[in-house]
């Protein structure tokens, strides 16, 4: 098509030289097919195929501005073809998507480009929950968000009628996942019932859309990715006598927009109790999920407020479509924060978890040793601030081949911290920025167990009184 326009323009110029009237020339130009009013090509005198290769090499942060060049540029920036080329050229970029709670009831997403350190606001999630019903639901279930675990009916009744920070917040108890370059928000509570609905955010189109719902309504479930599919495990559902812990699991295939059943997750060790009383009192729950070595690792606990007892866990193998008992060292030693939730992340093939170490302002990073079936401390001190006032004082993420901790710094700003070797950081071009960071000025915040590990501030921002909720990394 590009060559067609070139030939047409040459003919037009020749006829003008032969004495054709301006009106006739104008008529002929109007009859020519056009792709865009401003320019028939993305870049003048360049084939669109070559222009696409050039655009694919631009940093993704530039797309917010270059899409304003023309309508054709905008459609190109929002086309799937461009991002296929980026994958072929290996120019994709990992961005951090952070979910925070601002004020009393607002859940907001922000995207961070770690290289430019620029934050972008993500459009609000659809609010389809009736405000009054949401108030009833979340006032009953506020303490769920504190522990992300099971609350038996008697405990919940103690909070009935109390107004608190989550009264007007939709998506109470939802789960978060990311697959195939998109964010997913799954389930949660609405009108005092657990929801089946699933919402997807497409960063390319910069919009939310509803996808096929789960087969089971659930809240506070765990999510993981295997083979470009989104797995959902456990959580709770609304039963006749209150909230019931779930053992069911299902998997979403984004290529077909469909859900399939997965064998229910067993609680092998939870079934072996010293007495019938404890077996009736303690409720088994899934307290984490991590995709590791091509399988889903789900640590478990027995719970009865305010007590948590680790009972190992289960591992799902997609090749055999079955569950096996988690190695004892992995399950029983999986670090857990105050309320039993076990947060972990895989970076460069290694499984890491944060251990609060019975401290309110610090913690340690442990790595799982498969050979010895044990967790070992690799970073002796991680700077964590304001944990007493926050429900989620920290989050873990892995991108650019590094382990990251998202927390609040000494100024109560949300900070993204990167753990790295001191020698590597000193040779990095960005090391000059460390002299202005809080962590660099406070050497006591470096890891105690390994002096070679230092923390670098990737980015920070003042979000006011925002609290951390969840995060995901997307590579597009």
pLDDT in tens, the chain (476 residues): 444 333 334 333 333 344 444 454 444 444 434 444 555 889 998 999 999 999 999 999 999 999 999 999 999 999 999 999 999 999 999 999 999 988 766 889 999 999 999 999 999 988 754 443 344 444 444 333 333 333 433 333 333 333 333 333 457 788 999 999 999 999 988 777 888 999 999 999 999 999 999 999 999 899 999 999 999 999 988 877 777 889 999 999 999 999 999 999 998 876 666 566 566 677 788 889 999 999 999 999 887 766 677 788 999 999 999 999 999 999 988 987 655 678 899 999 999 998 876 655 678 899 999 999 999 999 888 877 655 556 678 899 999 999 999 998 888 899 999 987 665 544 443 332 323 333 333 334 433 445 567 889 999 999 988 888 899 999 99
Quick check: is 429 in a domain?
A: yes
Same domain flag for 291 and 370: no
DSSP string, 327-394: PHHHHHT----TTS---EEEETTEEEEEE-TT-SS--EEEEEETTTTEEEEEES------TTT-S--E
List 102's β-bridge partners, or say none: 106
Would you give the end-to-end CA distance of the chain in angstroms? 29
Same domain flag for 250 and 145: yes
Most distant CA atoms of the chain, gap in Å:
104
Domain that holds residue 149: 123-334
Same domain flag for 375 and 289: no
Same domain flag for 185 and 277: yes
Same domain flag for 134 and 273: yes
> CA dihedral defined by 40, 43, 49, 53, rounded to 10 degrees?
-150
Quick check: is 9 in a domain?
A: yes
Question: What is the rounded CA–CA span in Å between residue 422 and residue 439?
Answer: 13
List 346's β-bridge partners, or say none: 351
Same domain flag for 462 and 318: no
Same domain flag for 324 and 344: no
H or E segment and range at residue 72: helix 71-77
Q: How far is CA 137 from CA 144, 172, 199, 350, 468, in A?
A: 11, 8, 20, 39, 21
What integer pLDDT is reported at residue 36 of this predicted model?
A: 46
Same domain flag for 378 and 294: no
CA torsion sign for 54, 55, 61, 66 is positive
Quick check: is 114 in a domain?
A: no
Quick check: is 60 in a domain?
A: yes
Same domain flag for 359 and 254: no
Domain boundary, last residue among 334, 369, 388: 334
Residue owning tokens 């995901």: 472
Bond before 306 cis per omega within 30 degrees: yes
Domain boundary, last residue among 40, 66, 89: 89
Supply the CATH number for residue 325's domain.
Answer: 2.120.10.80
Question: What is the rounded CA–CA span in Å between residue 135 and residue 290?
Answer: 32
Quick check: is 473 in a domain?
A: no
Quick check: is 97 in a domain?
A: no
Counted domains in the chain: 3
Same domain flag for 352 and 287: no
Predicted TM-score (pTM) of this structure: 0.79
Closest CA to 232 of 201, 165, 287, 186: 186
DSSP string, 283-328: EEEE---EEETTEEEEEEEEEETTEEEEEEEEEEETTTTEEEEPPH
What integer pLDDT is reported at residue 355 of this predicted model?
A: 86
Quick check: is 99 in a domain?
A: no
Same domain flag for 349 and 326: no
Domain boundary, last residue among 283, 309, 334: 334
Quick check: is 109 in a domain?
A: no
Please, are residues 394 and 335 in contact by the beta-carbon 8 Å criterion? no
Same domain flag for 363 and 430: yes
């Amino acid at each position: 098509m590009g060559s067609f326009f070139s030939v047409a323009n040459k003919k037009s110029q020749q006829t003008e030289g032969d004495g054709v009237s301006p009106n006739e020339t104008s008529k002929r130009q109007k009859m020519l097919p056009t792709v865009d009013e401003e320019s028939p090509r993305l870049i003048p005198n360049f084939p669109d195929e070559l222009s696409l290769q050039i655009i694919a090499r631009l940093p993704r942060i530039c797309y917010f501005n270059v899409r304003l060049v023309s309508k054709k540029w905008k459609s190109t920036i929002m086309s799937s073809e461009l991002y296929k080329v980026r994958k072929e050229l290996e120019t994709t970029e990992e961005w951090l998507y952070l979910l925070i709670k601002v004020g009393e009831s607002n859940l907001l997403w922000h995207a961070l480009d770690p290289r430019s350190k620029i934050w972008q606001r993500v459009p609000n999630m659809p609010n389809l929950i009736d405000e009054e019903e949401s108030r009833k639901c979340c006032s009953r279930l506020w303490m769920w968000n504190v522990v992300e675990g099971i609350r038996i009916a008697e405990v919940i009744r103690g909070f009935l009628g109390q107004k608190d920070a989550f009264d007007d917040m939709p998506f109470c108890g939802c789960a978060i996942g990311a697959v195939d370059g998109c964010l997913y928000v799954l389930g949660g509570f609405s009108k005092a019932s657990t929801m089946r609905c699933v919402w997807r955010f497409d960063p390319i189109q910069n919009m939310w859309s509803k996808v096929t719902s789960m087969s089971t309504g659930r809240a506070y479930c765990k999510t993981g990715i295997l083979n470009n599919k989104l797995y959902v495990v456990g959580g709770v559902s609304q039963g006749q006598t209150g909230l019931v812990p779930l053992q069911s699991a299902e998997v979403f295939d984004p290529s077909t927009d469909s859900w399939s059943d997965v064998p229910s997750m067993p609680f092998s060790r939870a079934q072996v109790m010293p007495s019938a009383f404890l077996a009736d009192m303690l409720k088994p729950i899934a307290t984490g999920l991590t995709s590791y070595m091509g399988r889903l690792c789900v640590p478990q606990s027995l719970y009865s407020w305010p007590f948590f007892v680790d009972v190992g866990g289960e591992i799902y193998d997609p090749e055999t479509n079955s569950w096996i008992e988690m190695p004892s060292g992995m399950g029983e030693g999986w670090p857990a924060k105050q309320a039993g939730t076990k947060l972990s992340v895989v970076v460069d093939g290694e499984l890491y978890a944060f251990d609060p170490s019975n401290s309110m302002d610090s913690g340690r990073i442990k790595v799982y040793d498969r050979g010895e079936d044990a967790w070992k401390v690799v970073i002796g001190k991680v700077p964590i601030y304001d944990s007493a006032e926050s429900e989620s004082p920290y989050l873990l993420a892995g991108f650019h081949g590094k382990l990251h901790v998202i927390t609040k710094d000494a100024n109560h700003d949300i900070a993204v911290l990167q753990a790295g070797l001191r020698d590597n950081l000193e040779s990095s071009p960005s090391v000059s920025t460390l002299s202005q960071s809080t962590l660099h000025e406070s050497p006591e915040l470096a890891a105690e167990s390994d002096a070679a590990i230092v923390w670098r501030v990737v980015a920070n921002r003042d979000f006011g009184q925002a609290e951390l909720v969840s995060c995901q990394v997307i590579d597009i």
